[in-house]
C-alpha cells in the first residue's frame, strides 16, 4: 500500500516535531520560552490588529485543508477512510487540547503581564494552544491529502504564522504553541497510521 506521506514530507514534519519537542522540554519558569514570549509581546502586542494575524492565517489553512481534502476525495488519490481518520484526528487533538488546559490550568501571558489589546478572562487557560493544535493538524491533513512537499511546506509556514501570532499578542507562551503543534501533528498521524495499517492487513493475500 502507498506510504501515508512521501519521504521528503516525512523529513519536513520530523524536523518540525523535533523543534517543537525542543521548545517544550525546556524548563518553564523563566525559561527561554518565557524570555522569548516577553520579548515578542513587548515588541508586537501594541501593533494594531496583531490579533488578526493568527485568525487570518488560520482561515487560509482552513481553505487549503478543504481544497486538498476535496481534491483527494474526488480523485481517489487516497483511501477515503484514511482522509476521514486524519480529519477525525484533528478533532480529537482539539478535544485533548481542551482537556489539557483544564488539567494544567496555566494563566496566559496577558493575564500575568500588563499588555495592550484584549485578553481572555481568568480561567481561560493557556496551555496548550488551540490555534496551534488546529493549524498543525491542518498541516498533517494537507500532507496526507496531497503527498506534495511544496504544499506541505507552505502549510507549515502558514501554521507557524498562526502560532507566532498567538505568542506576539500575548495569548500564549512559546511552549504553549509548541505543545499545540505536537498535539496537532501526533494525534491525526496516529489515527491515520492505524487505519492505513489495518487496510494493508486487510488487502494482504
> Each residue of 92-113: pLDDT tens digit?
999 999 999 999 989 999 888 8
14-63 residue pLDDT tens: 999 998 888 887 655 567 888 888 888 888 877 878 888 899 999 999 99
The pLDDT-based confidence of 74 (bands split at 50, 70, 90) is confident
Q: What is the pLDDT of residue 113?
A: 87
Report the alpha-carbon distance of residue 202 to residue 135 in Å, rounded. 32
Letter string b/e over residues 119-158, b meaning 16 or more CB atoms within 10 A of that residue's CB: beeeeebbbbbbbbbbbbbbbbbbbbbbbbbebbebbbeb
Count CB-CB contacts under 10 A for residue 112: 15
pTM value is 0.90
Contacts of residue 196, Cβ cutoff 8 Å, sequence gap at least 6: 1, 4, 79, 82
Alpha-carbon distance of 135 to 141, in angstroms, equals 10
User: Contact, 140 vs 181, CB < 8 A?
Assistant: no
- What is the per-residue pLDDT across 77-93, written as a single tens digit (0 to 9) for each? 667 888 899 999 999 99
Amino acid at each position: 500500500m502507498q506510504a501515508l506521506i512521501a519521504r521528503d514530507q516525512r523529513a519536513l514534519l520530523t524536523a518540525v516535531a523535533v523543534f517543537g519537542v525542543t521548545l517544550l522540554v525546556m524548563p518553564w519558569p523563566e525559561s527561554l520560552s518565557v524570555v522569548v514570549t516577553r520579548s515578542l509581546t513587548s515588541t508586537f502586542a501594541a501593533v494594531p490588529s496583531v490579533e488578526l494575524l493568527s485568525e487570518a492565517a488560520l482561515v487560509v489553512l482552513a481553505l487549503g485543508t478543504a481544497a486538498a481534502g476535496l481534491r483527494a476525495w474526488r480523485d481517489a488519490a487516497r483511501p477515503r477512510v484514511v482522509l476521514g481518520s486524519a480529519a477525525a484526528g484533528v478533532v480529537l487533538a482539539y478535544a485533548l487540547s481542551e482537556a489539557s488546559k483544564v488539567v494544567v490550568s496555566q494563566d496566559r501571558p496577558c493575564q500575568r503581564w500588563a499588555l495592550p489589546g484584549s485578553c481572555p478572562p481568568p480561567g481561560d487557560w493557556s496551555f496548550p494552544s488551540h490555534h496551534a493544535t488546529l493549524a498543525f493538524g491542518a498541516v498533517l491533513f494537507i500532507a496526507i491529502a496531497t503527498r506534495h512537499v511544496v504544499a506541505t511546506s507552505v502549510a507549515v509556514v502558514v501554521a507557524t504564522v498562526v502560532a507566532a501570532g498567538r505568542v506576539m499578542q500575548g495569548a500564549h507562551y512559546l511552549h504553549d504553541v509548541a505543545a499545540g503543534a505536537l498535539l496537532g501533528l501526533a494525534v491525526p498521524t496516529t489515527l491515520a497510521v492505524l487505519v492505513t495499517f489495518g487496510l494493508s492487513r486487510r488487502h494482504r493475500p
